[in-house]
């Protein structure tokens, strides 16, 4: 899937370990240091489940 509007996730810290997200019908997630590699495409339910595990 070709996405156009990527932005650094607000959940990324100020370190070098960042992800970018692209919201749409699904949420795309990719590594900022490996943008040309595969991305994850998550449904709204999957994205919310991931965030609930990663955030206190």
The model's pLDDT over 7-53, given as tens digits with 9 standing for 90+, comes to 887 767 666 778 888 988 899 999 888 888 989 999 999 999 998 99
Confidence (pTM) = 0.72
Enclosing domain of residue 18: 7-54
Total domains in the fold of the chain:
1
CA dihedral 24, 25, 29, 32 (to 10 degrees): -30
Calculate ∠ Cα 15-16-17, nearest 5°: 90
Q: Is residue 2 included in any domain, yes or no?
A: no
Q: Is residue 1 included in any domain, yes or no?
A: no
Q: Is residue 23 included in any domain, yes or no?
A: yes
Q: Is residue 16 included in any domain, yes or no?
A: yes
Categorize the per-residue pLDDT at 1 as very low, low, confident or very high, splitting at 50, 70 and 90: low
């Amino acid at each position: 899937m070709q996405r156009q509007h990527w932005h650094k996730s607000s959940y990324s810290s100020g370190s070098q370990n960042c992800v970018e997200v692209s919201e749409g019908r699904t949420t795309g997630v990719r590594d900022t240091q490996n943008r040309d590699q595969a991305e994850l495409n998550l449904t709204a339910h999957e994205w919310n489940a991931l965030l609930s595990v990663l955030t206190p």
